[in-house]
Amino acid sequence: MIARPACIPALCYLDPKAALDWLQKAFGFEIEMVIEDDAGNPVHSELRYGDGIVMIGNEWSADHKSPASVGRKCTQTVHIHMEENIDQHCERARAAGAEIVVEPDTQFYGDRTYRARDPEGHIWTFGQTVQVMTPAEWDKVGGVKTRLK
């Protein structure tokens, strides 16, 4: 096993087994770990992308739901920062059936991003740095003010 990140998001799915397959095909995740019950259903799983991990599981309490169970509403998104070509990644996701919510576009801070919705409704944001900028540069371009620690 590779070192674990300090923060690992966990997403609930009605069908975590199908989600594991789809997320690998559409977004290029790799299985880090799957713990299965006697029937072969995942009870805990982790997918890796680069040095990040995301947990994929089922709806395990009244407070842990897939967007598919709550009108496809999300209270968070997962952001994946990547080195690979963002436009090609978007086309891979589209070909696998992802709903592209926001097409690839270069942001004022120098990253090219797009947003995709998976079959159960989770929204994923993918980004690639295409222009390295300082906070002063993106503040000027974006009309914002960045505060750093």
Please list the residues that pair with 42 across neighbouring strands: 36
- Examine the pLDDT at 72 and tell me if it is beyond 80: yes
Where does the pLDDT of residue 102 fall: very low under 50, low under 70, confident under 90, or very high at 90 and above?
A: very high
Instruction: Assess whether the region 1-59 and the region 76-142 belong to the same CATH fold.
Output: yes
- Examine the pLDDT at 32 and tell me if it is beyond 70: yes
CATH 3.30.720.120 fits 1-59, yes or no: yes
Question: What sign for the dihedral angle of Cα 142, 112, 126, 2?
Answer: negative
Is the entire prediction scored with pTM above 0.85? yes
CA 99/CA 86 separation, integer angstroms: 16
Give residue limits of the domains in the chain. 1-59, 76-142
CATH number of 76-142: 3.30.720.110
